[in-house]
Structures are given as structure tokens and as C-alpha cells.
């Protein structure tokens, strides 16, 4: 699969950000075999401790999460984790998050100097503190962030889109114009679970959190269909993939590659078996 | 804040196997002993380690349970279950011959003494789960093992006959006095701590905190290990859902119950922060 700017994947199957750590757990458990790419946990300039528990809640055919971008910071990723990726067949693409465009630029500038980083996935679904805006819901901000990152790295830049917008294709076109090599979609949908026993949402804060899992697959397919129709750059399909047939659905729809997310938690061998089965289809071009 | 300073579970031993239900014994109201044929886990699981079980049809995410007892000869493992919600209800109603997915062993279990030691095992309610396996291992090494078991009422006590023979002593307490002594495990604890080198505890978090504090005060030379619970999405360190407050060299650090735990040294837990944390999701 050619994603762009020198990034080629051996298999269309990837593991989605936040569901695979930095790949080390799957390595220990023998579940890396045949994967095309690993998208790491969202990585920020500074270490983040994440949100107070509870952080996850189960809902029918899915889960809600509000992890709060817990990660060790880009410096630890660049100096301690990256050397351990040497020799892996799967490409490691670092998912980048931040509060301001300047944050994204600083993380990407640091990652640009790390040879083991095969590409960057920009998670632009974080609230932009400086402008009080969510970068991922404003086409101009999304394009500006993409352009700013494009200017500081030679690595492939994949922009990960939030589905919590009226017109995802509009955001897709904006980041394509901003220089994105590909887009990945979707990130989680905004959701909430209510606890009647407590008379408040199950998860703390505002109670809203990210919905993922098989429940979102039809929604994600609709979003990917709009992006495939609107864009010339590759689209990586994500959302509720829990079997090889689910992956085939996205690929037939026109996604160049796919990512498995929540299913990695309850089917830890799925990504590897999906990659093997698609290879038998002849899907690994 | 690197969460990787504390020792972590060894994931290379975990296997995802199809396990066949051998039977479910009802041990009390909503309390069941589930026996599964799971050859690999029956040979691999160490005391205090857990498995993630998946039933179909059933909830999406797997549910974590401590290995209760193993029979490597027959290739079976058992779990002591309290029916709580949909996942545990479906497990309790499994019929012989049906299959579940078992991912394990996971987590860090209890440490076993390197020199001759006298151990006290303290259980609250379904917290008895990991102790048949631990007691069997300790007794096989010739250790002295004392058993302190507490529950709300007599029908909720893990049956003594399910523990291995050869215990040096056993005390049962119930909240209502319907069996053994009336009171909490912490009421019976002080007199049992004398001469003990190791205290192993499993039960509700407030009980674990009370046991840890009491042991530190009355028997500071004893090593205290507790098995902690947190809601788990994966069981192997990738979802970051099972965050628990720990201490490393005196400083608070966020830990993962499934990787640094579930068994932790009492001094590794930030008890005050844990107390402020809501117990469950619902
Ligand atoms: C390491 C570990 C070992 C455990 N060992 C045992 C055991 O040996 N026997 C036993 O009966 N129970 C044990 N538990 C608790 C058991 O996992 C929960 O009771 C069970 O997950 C509830 O699932 P449910 O579908 O019945 O309930 P639901 O209400 O459907 O559960 C909803 C959600 O809450 C979570 N949850 C609810 N209660 C707990 C809890 N006490 N701890 C963690 N997560 C919870 C579930 O994972 C699920 O995501 C253990 C928990 C952990 C973390
Ligand atoms: C626990 C959890 C943590 C996640 N963390 C991130 C993250 O850090 N960055 C990101 O871009 N997406 C994150 N995601 C979103 C997933 O990468 C994926 O886009 C989404 O879950 C939809 O796919 P799925 O239905 O297959 O899970 C996370 C998802 C989950 C469930
Ligand atoms: S249960 Fe997923 S990280 Fe611990």
C-alpha cells in the first residue's frame, strides 16, 4: 500500500492509536506478525498523566473512553521507545496531539530526526486552547495545522479526522490542500453513558467521552465513503472493525488501508490474523 | 511520570485459548465456582495472576478474574465468581461443554518467600478467589499458612473444605455472626499477626487499606501484599483504563492495575488517592 511520501505498508492492516500502546505489549504477546503499521498512542510535547478514573465504560457493542492522552512525552518516545522499534516489519507511525499548532510543530520537528518513525498521524481532534477552538472542526485551523507540520518534516503526514462535524469531506479537502499525504477516519464519536443510580454520567467531567467499537462501524463507513468520493489522497478507514470481513468492507469501499482499534482489547490476535487472511485474498498489493 | 519504573507483568506467558466448561458449582447466593478445561493456563498461572474471560453471546469486553485453583494434571482451572452484571451472570450460567475464550495468565501475582516463612492469608468476600492456589503453592514449599476469611454472612464465606489441607490455622468471621466470629476481618487480625512474616490480602479496597495500615503498625517486619481491582478494558496494558494511584520511592505515580498489579506491595499503593477514586464504573 503506497500511502505517500515514501511511506509504503506491507499490509493494509494497522493498529489504531490508543489501542496498541507503542507496540511493545503486542510484541511480547506475539501479535505483531504481518501488520502493516502501528499507530502509537497520542504523543504530546510534555508527559501527560491522563484523566482521573474511571476512564472507560462499556455500552452496547462499544465502549466510551476518556483517557486524557496519557503518554510519556515525545522525548521519551524519541530516545527510549524508538530504538526498540528497529527491526520491526510493521511501520511505526507516531500519533501526535497537542493544544496549539505550535505544540504539534514542536513534536513533529523532534520526530523528524528519529529514523525509526515511519510517519506522523496528526490527531487534530483536541481542543485548541489558544483559540478556544477544536482544530479538527474548523477547516481553516485544520489546514493551518497541517501546513505548519508539513513545513517541518519530510515524513509522511496522515491527518486523522474527527467525525464530530457536519461535513467531514470539507475538513478532508482542507487538510489535503494543506499538504496531507493521506487522511485517516474516523476518530471516536462523542458519546455519554448515564448512571441512574448516581443521577449523573458514568464518566467524570462533562460526562462526554469517545465512543468506539462495532457500534460505530456503519457511521464510520458513511464518513469514509464521503472522504473517498471527495479526496484524491489515500483514505485510511477506521471504526468498529472486529473481523477480517469488516476490514474487507472498508477496503472495497475504497479505503487504501484500515486500522483496528477497540477490537485489539478483546481480540488481541485479530490484527495479525486479519493481515494474514487479507494476504491470502491477494489484498497485500 | 514514566509508569515503567515499577516491575511489570510478563506478557510473554499469556495465551489466548479456547476453554471448555467442565461445570459450575453454586457455593452460595450469586457465588459460583466455574471450572474450565484450559490446558495451557493450568500449567502456567502463578498465584495472584488473572485471566480475561470472554463469553459469547455476552459483553464486548472481556472480564478479569483471579485464578482460584489449578489442576495441571487434568488441565483445568477454576474461578470463584460473584454475579455482578451481565458478564458474570453469563459465566455463572455456562453449561458443560460450552466454550469461552481465556486470555492469560496476566498481571503480576503474589511473591513467594525465598526463606522459610509464616504467612497469613486475609480474604474479604469474593476476595477469597486467589487463595486456594496461593495456599497450595505455599504449603507445597513447606510454609506455615494461616487463613483468615471474612464475609457478610455464612452462606457467603468461601467454604473451608475448598481450601487445601494442612493449614496451620483458620479463622472465619461474618458481619452478622452467622458463622465463626461476629465482626470484620480487621477485628480478628491483630491477634493473628504475631509471628507472621507475610500478609497476603484480597478483598474490597477499604478492607485492603485497613489491613495494610494495621499490619504496618502491629507487625512492621511483615511483608504485606494486596490484590487490587480496577475496571479493565484489555488486561495487558494498552487501553490505559485501569489506572491506579501508586507510589514509587515515596512519590505518587500513575500505575496500571493490569501491569504493575493486580498484586502490589502495600507500600506501593497510594491509599489516600485510591480512597478518593470511585470504586466502580456503575
Ligand atoms: C484483577 C481482577 C481480578 C478479579 N477477580 C475476580 C474474581 O476472582 N471473582 C470475581 O467474582 N470477580 C473478580 N473481579 C471482579 C470482576 O472482574 C467484575 O465483577 C466483573 O468484571 C463484572 O462484570 P459484569 O459484566 O458481571 O458486570 P458489569 O456491571 O456488566 O460490568 C460493567 C463494567 O464494570 C467493570 N467492573 C465491574 N465491577 C468490577 C470490579 N469489581 N472490578 C473490576 N471491574 C469491574 C467490568 O469490567 C465492566 O467493564 C476481578 C477484577 C479484577 C480487576
Ligand atoms: C481507549 C482508546 C484510546 C484512544 N486514544 C487515541 C489517541 O490517543 N489518539 C487518537 O488519535 N485516537 C485514539 N483513539 C481512537 C482510535 O484510534 C480509533 O480512531 C477509534 O477508537 C475508532 O476505531 P474502533 O471503533 O476500531 O475502536 C482511542 C480509542 C480508544 C478506544
Ligand atoms: S486493563 Fe487495559 S491497560 Fe490495564
- The span from the CA of B14 to the CA of B237, in Å, is 13
B240:A58 CB<8 A:
no
Specify burial of residue A115 (Cβ count, 10 A radius: 0-12, 13-18, 19+): exposed
In a domain, B69, yes or no: yes
Selected for mutation to probe chain A from B62, B276, B281 (highest A CB count within 10 Å) is B281
ipTM: 0.96
C-alpha distances out from residue A192 to A59, A63, A203, A204, A207, Å = 9, 10, 8, 10, 6
All residues at 6 or more sequence positions from A89 whose CB lies less than 8 Å from its CB, including other chains: A10, A32, A34, A35
Quick one: pLDDT at residue B282?
Answer: 43
Give the number of other Cβ atoms within 10 Å of residue B23's Cβ. Answer: 15
The domain that holds B230 is classified in CATH as 3.40.50.80
Are B162 and B207 contained in the same domain? yes
Are B37 and B149 contained in the same domain? no
- The span from the CA of A235 to the CA of B135, in Å, is 55
- The span from the CA of B261 to the CA of B165, in Å, is 28
Per-residue H/E/C for B47-82 = CCCEEEEECCCCCCCCEEEECCEEECCCCEEEEEEE
Size of interface A-B (CB pairs under 8 A): 99
Mutate which of B29, B62, B68, B87 for ligand 1? The one with the most ligand atoms within 8 Å of its CB, which is B87
Q: What number of residues does chain A have? A: 285
Quick one: pLDDT at residue A284?
Answer: 47
Please name the helix (run of DSSP H) or strand (run of DSSP E) that holds residue A95, with its range, or none. Answer: strand A91-96
| % of chain A with per-residue pLDDT over 90 | 93
The domain that holds B84 is classified in CATH as 2.40.30.10
Give the distance, in angstroms, between the CA of residue B204 and the centroid of all CA atoms in the same chain: 10
Are B253 and B131 contained in the same domain? yes
Are B86 and B221 contained in the same domain? no
Rounded to a whole number, what is the distance in angstroms from the first to the last CA of chain B? Answer: 29
What cell was used for A10?
506491507
Q: Could you read off the pLDDT of B234-255 as tens digits, one per residue?
A: 999 999 999 999 998 889 988 9
Are B130 and B219 contained in the same domain? yes
Please name the helix (run of DSSP H) or strand (run of DSSP E) that holds residue A133, with its range, or none. Answer: strand A133-134
C-alpha distances out from residue B30 to A134, A192, B65, B80, B162, Å = 48, 30, 15, 11, 17
Say if CB A177 and CB A143 are below 8 A apart. yes
Give B115's pLDDT tier (boundaries 50, 70, 90): confident
Are B100 and B122 contained in the same domain? no
Torsion angle (degrees, nearest 10) of CA A129, A133, A136, A140: -110
Fold of A2-280: TIM Barrel (3.20.20)
Whether pLDDT at B16 is above 50: yes
Are B91 and B214 contained in the same domain? no
Contacts with A268 from chain B: Cβ below 8 Å: 16, 103, 234, 236
Are B266 and B154 contained in the same domain? yes
**Domain ranges in chain A?**
2-280
Is any ligand 2 atom within 6 A of the Cβ of residue A239?
yes
3 state SS of B225: strand
Catalytic residues of A: 126
Give B281's pLDDT tier (boundaries 50, 70, 90): very low
A49:B1 CB<8 A:
yes
Q: Which of B84, B106, B128 delimits the end of a domain? A: B106
Range of the domain at B175: 118-275
Whether pLDDT at A43 is above 60: yes
Instruction: In chain A, count H helices and then E strands.
Output: 9, 18
Give the mean pLDDT of A90-118.
97
Are B62 and B170 contained in the same domain? no
**Residue whose CA is closest, atom 19 of ligand 2?**
A187
In a domain, B15, yes or no: yes
In 3D space, the residue among B191, B183, B71, B82 whose CA is nearest the CA of residue B127 turns out to be B82
Quick one: pLDDT at residue B5?
Answer: 74
Say if CB B219 and CB B243 are below 8 A apart. no
In a domain, B260, yes or no: yes
- The span from the CA of B266 to the CA of B217, in Å, is 13
In a domain, B280, yes or no: no
Contacts with A61 from chain B: Cβ below 8 Å: 60
A58:B254 CB<8 A:
no
Are B89 and B154 contained in the same domain? no
A202:B282 CB<8 A:
yes
The distance of B32 to chain A (nearest Cα, Å) reads 24
Arithmetic mean of pLDDT over chain B: 95
State the total domains in chain B: 2
Give the number of other Cβ atoms within 10 Å of residue A273's Cβ. Answer: 16
Is any ligand 2 atom within 6 A of the Cβ of residue A122?
no
Quick one: pLDDT at residue A130?
Answer: 53
Give B1's pLDDT tier (boundaries 50, 70, 90): very low
Q: Which of B83, B106, B129 delimits the end of a domain? A: B106
In 3D space, the residue among B230, B248, B243, B237 whose CA is nearest the CA of residue B12 turns out to be B237
Q: For residue A201, how many C-alpha atoms fall within 13 Å in the half-sphere facing its CB?
A: 18
Quick one: pLDDT at residue B4?
Answer: 52
Cα-Cα-Cα-Cα dihedral sign, residues A251, A255, A257, A259: negative
Say if CB B105 and CB B51 are below 8 A apart. yes
Quick one: pLDDT at residue B270?
Answer: 96
Q: Could you read off the pLDDT of A159-207 as tens digits, one per residue?
A: 999 999 999 999 999 999 999 999 999 999 999 999 999 999 999 989 9
Give A40's pLDDT tier (boundaries 50, 70, 90): very high
In a domain, B47, yes or no: yes
Q: Residue B81: phi, psi to the nearest 5?
A: -115, 140
Say if CB A55 and CB B240 are below 8 A apart. yes
B62 CA → ligand 2 middle, Å = 18
Report which ligand 1 atom has the smallest distance to the Cα of B65: 5
A130 CA → ligand 3 middle, Å = 33
Q: For residue A236, how many C-alpha atoms fall within 13 Å in the half-sphere facing its CB?
A: 35
pTM of the model: 0.97
Are B102 and B198 contained in the same domain? no
In a domain, B205, yes or no: yes
Beta strands of chain B (E only): which ranges?
A: 15-28, 31-37, 50-54, 63-66, 69-71, 76-82, 99-106, 118-124, 144-151, 169-174, 181-182, 198-202, 223-227, 243-248, 251-256, 263-265
- The span from the CA of A38 to the CA of A210, in Å, is 20
Is any ligand 2 atom within 6 A of the Cβ of residue A184?
no
Cα-Cα-Cα-Cα dihedral sign, residues A17, A19, A21, A25: negative
3 state SS of A183: strand
Torsion angle (degrees, nearest 10) of CA A119, A80, A23, A35: 50
Amino acid at each position: 500500500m503506497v500511502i505517500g511520501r515514501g511511506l509504503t505498508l506491507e499490509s493494509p492492516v494497522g493498529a489504531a492509536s490508543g489501542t496498541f500502546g507503542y507496540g511493545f505489549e503486542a510484541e511480547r504477546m506475539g501479535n505483531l506478525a504481518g501488520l502493516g503499521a502501528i499507530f502509537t498512542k497520542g504523543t504530546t510535547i510534555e508527559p501527560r498523566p491522563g484523566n482521573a478514573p474511571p476512564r472507560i465504560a462499556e455500552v452496547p457493542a462499544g465502549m466510551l473512553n476518556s483517557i486524557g492522552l496519557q503518554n510519556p512525552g515525545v522525548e521519551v518516545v524519541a530516545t527510549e521507545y524508538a530504538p526498540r522499534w528497529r527491526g520491526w516489519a510493521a511501520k511505526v507511525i507516531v500519533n501526535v496531539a497537542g493544544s496549539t499548532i505550535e505544540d504539534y510543530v514542536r513534536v513533529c520537528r523532534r520526530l523528524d530526526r528519529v529514523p525509526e518513525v515511519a510517519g506522523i498521524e496528526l490527531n487534530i481532534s483536541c481542543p485548541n486552547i489558544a483559540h478556544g477552538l477544536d482544530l479538527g472542526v474548523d477547516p481553516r485551523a485544520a489546514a493551518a495545522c497541517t501546513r505548519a507540520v508539513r513545513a517541518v518534516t519530510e515524513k509522511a503526514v496522515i491527518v486523522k479526522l474527527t467525525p464530530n462535524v457536519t461535513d467531514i469531506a470539507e475538513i478532508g479537502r482542507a487538510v489535503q490542500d494543506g499538504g496531507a499525504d493521506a487522511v485517516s477516519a474516523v476518530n471516536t464519536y462523542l458519546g455519554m453513558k448515564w448512571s441512574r443510580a448516581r443521577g449523573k454520567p458514568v464518566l467524570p467531567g462533562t460526562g462526554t467521552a469517545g465512543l468506539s467499537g462495532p457500534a460505530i462501524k456503519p457511521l464510520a463507513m458513511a464518513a469514509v465513503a464521503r472522504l473517498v468520493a471527495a479526496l484524491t489522497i489515500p483514505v485510511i478507514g477506521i471504526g468498529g472493525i472486529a473481523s477480517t470481513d469488516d476490514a474487507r468492507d472498508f477496503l472495497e469501499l475504497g479505503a487504501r488501508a484500515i486500522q483496528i482499534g477497540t477490537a485489539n482489547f478483546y481480540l488481541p490476535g485479530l490484527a495479525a490474523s486479519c493481515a494474514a487472511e487479507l494476504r491470502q485474498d491477494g489484498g497485500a498489493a | 511520570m514514566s509508569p515503567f519504573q515499577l516491575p511489570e507483568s510478563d506478557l510473554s506467558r499469556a495465551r489466548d485459548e479456547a476453554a471448555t466448561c467442565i461445570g459450575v458449582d453454586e457455593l452460595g447466593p450469586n457465588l459460583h465456582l466455574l471450572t474450565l478445561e484450559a490446558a495451557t493456563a493450568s500449567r502456567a498461572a502463578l498465584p495472584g495472576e488473572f485471566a480475561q474471560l470472554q463469553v459469547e453471546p455476552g459483553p464486548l469486553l472481556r472480564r478479569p478474574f483471579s485464578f482460584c485453583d489449578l489442576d495441571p494434571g487434568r488441565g483445568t482451572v477454576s474461578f470463584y465468581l460473584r454475579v455482578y452484571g451481565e458478564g458474570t451472570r453469563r459465566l455463572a450460567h455456562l453449561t458443560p461443554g460450552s466454550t469461552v475464550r481465556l486470555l492469560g495468565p496476566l498481571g503480576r501475582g503474589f511473591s513467594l518467600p525465598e526463606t522459610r516463612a509464616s504467612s497469613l492469608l486475609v480474604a474479604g468476600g469474593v476476595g477469597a478467589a486467589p487463595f486456594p492456589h496461593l495456599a497450595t503453592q505455599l504449603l507445597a514449599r513447606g510454609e506455615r499458612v494461616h487463613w483468615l476469611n471474612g464475609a457478610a454472612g455464612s452462606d457467603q464465606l468461601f467454604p473451608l473444605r475448598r481450601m487445601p489441607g494442612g493449614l496451620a490455622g483458620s479463622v472465619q468471621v461474618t458481619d452478622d455472626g452467622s458463622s465463626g466470629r461476629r465482626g470484620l476481618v480487621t477485628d480478628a487480625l491483630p491477634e493473628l499477626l504475631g509471628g507472621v512474616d507475610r500478609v497476603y490480602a484480597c478483598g474490597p479496597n477499604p478492607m485492603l487499606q485497613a489491613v495494610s495500615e494495621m499490619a504496618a503498625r502491629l507487625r512492621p517486619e511483615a511483608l504485606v501484599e494486596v490484590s487490587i481491582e480496577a475496571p479493565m478494558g484489555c488486561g495487558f496494558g494498552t487501553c490505559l483504563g485501569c489506572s491506579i494511584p501508586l507510589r514509587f520511592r515515596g512519590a505518587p505515580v500513575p500505575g496500571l492495575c493490569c501491569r504493575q498489579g493486580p498484586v502490589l506491595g502495600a507500600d506501593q499503593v497510594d491509599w489516600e488517592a485510591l480512597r478518593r477514586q470511585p470504586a466502580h464504573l456503575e
